[in-house]
Chain A
Amino acid sequence: MNRLTRAVLLRLAVTFVISMIFGFAVSEITYRLSRSDMERIPEVLTIVVPAGTADQISQGQPGPQLPEMKFFEGDQIVVVNQDQVSHQLGPLWIPPGATSSLTLDRPSQYNLSCSFQPTETVGIDVQPRAKTSDRVVGALAIGLPTWGLLALYAMVAAPLPGKTPAAGSSA
């Protein structure tokens, strides 16, 4: 490997490290300034449908109390069905005596049928989550273009060793 190649690789390596540090710093500062509940770890909401719920609902009585159905991507709903008949909560179907779970893997808003609420519907709001991968992608999205520009600048700003001056410049 000659001096020119070594010098090019060295500049590429140095500018890469500087660019990635810069990209990481900008991405992290932006993330920390704008973070909210979106970054909390995924939670599990467990709902128990007690025995006799279907009979209660058919008699017009209230079913189990449901919390606010607002979630972040990655949260999980678990429904424990202690009743003698199957129940449904939107996409969740729970055979009698069984437990079903659903991981909310996409941001969305549903208005779902629910067999254990007298209104027979329930709204679910799934918000997007800021993931670690988003931060890595953010750092790379800033770092890689910066690297390109910085590397180009480093090649042009200081002459590389062993490069002969351009013919026109010697006049």
Chain B
Amino acid sequence: MQKNVILAVIGALAVVLLVWAAAFARPYVLHGSEIDPPVPAPPIQLSRADGSGFDLAARQGRVALIFFGYTSCPDICPTTLADMKRVKAGLGSQAEAADFVFITVDPQRDTPEHTQSYVAGFNPGFIGLSGTEDQLQPVWKAYGVFREVQPGATALGYLVDHSTRSYLIDADGNLRLTYAYGTPVEDIVKDIRYLLKEGER
């Protein structure tokens, strides 16, 4: 009798857990705008502040989150870099397998040194890239970056209107996802974790 009662209780709990698991078990859905099938990430070869070169293609095996902005930006760029900082923190030790890259849309004012110094203010591990307009133009074009200088827009100088999306490159060097400005940090963290796990397989 007592055995039957215990079995009945265990059985009832098991049924509830199974129903619960069936209701919630779903394959992972990426949160950003997914490029499917993925396309090879357009090449990025630019100089770093320390004189070394940055070659995106040479960093396969790592995930890269890329944003295009400029250091004098009053709103979008510092907000996005602050979000990137939170993404990196959210990844914990897994952040060691990810690059966080900021590429200028304002090469007239943003030298490689100034760009690196700016992003390092958010996180010393961030990579700030610049170059000449001739070097940057093909990168902007390949990534569909809109930029338009607004001369004399503020007392501090001109502003640059620019697109605000971020790009996620997977460990195989493919352009996998883009994120609109304001995408929740938690969503990006989950996606990067998923891509890192996928890269291990």
Residues of A whose CB lies within 8 Å of any CB of B are 1, 5-6, 9-10, 12-13, 16-17, 20, 85-86, 88, 90-95, 97-103, 105, 131-133, 135-136, 140
Contacts and interface: CB of A to CB of B under 8 A. Distances in A.
A86 to B, nearest CB: 4
A22 B144 CA distance: 57
Contact of A86 (B8, B22, B29, B144): B144
Determine chain B's interface SS by DSSP, over half rule.
mixed
Contacts of B9: 9, 12-13, 16
Nearest to B29: A103
Interface in B20-49: 20, 22-24, 29-37, 39
B31 A105 contact: yes
B32 A91 contact: yes
B30 A99 contact: no
A1 to B, nearest CB: 5
Given A6-B1, A105-B29, 10 more contacts: A13-B5, A16-B12, A92-B33, A100-B34, A100-B35, A103-B34, A131-B23, A132-B23, A135-B23, A136-B19
19 contacts: A9-B6, A16-B12, A20-B12, A85-B144, A88-B144, A90-B180, A92-B178, A93-B165, A94-B35, A95-B35, A95-B175, A100-B36, A102-B33, A102-B34, A103-B30, A103-B34, A132-B22, A132-B23, A135-B23
Interface residues of B, number: 30
B23 A101 contact: no
A1 B20 contact: no
B16 interface: yes
Contact of A91 (B1, B39, B179): B179
Q: Closest 7 A-B residue pairs measured CB to CB?
A: A91-B180, A86-B144, A133-B23, A92-B33, A93-B178, A136-B23, A1-B2
A6 B175 contact: no
A9 B7 CA distance: 11
Given A9-B6, A13-B8, A136-B20, A91 B35 contact: no
A98 B29 contact: no
Contacts of B183: 91
Contact of A133 (B6, B12, B24, B36): B24
Contact of A98 (B5, B20, B35, B165): B35
B12 to A, nearest CB: 6
Contacts of A132: 22-23
A133 B19 CA distance: 9
Contacts of A93: 33, 144, 165, 178
A87 to B, nearest CB: 8
A120 B170 CA distance: 31
A99 B36 contact: yes
A101 B36 contact: yes
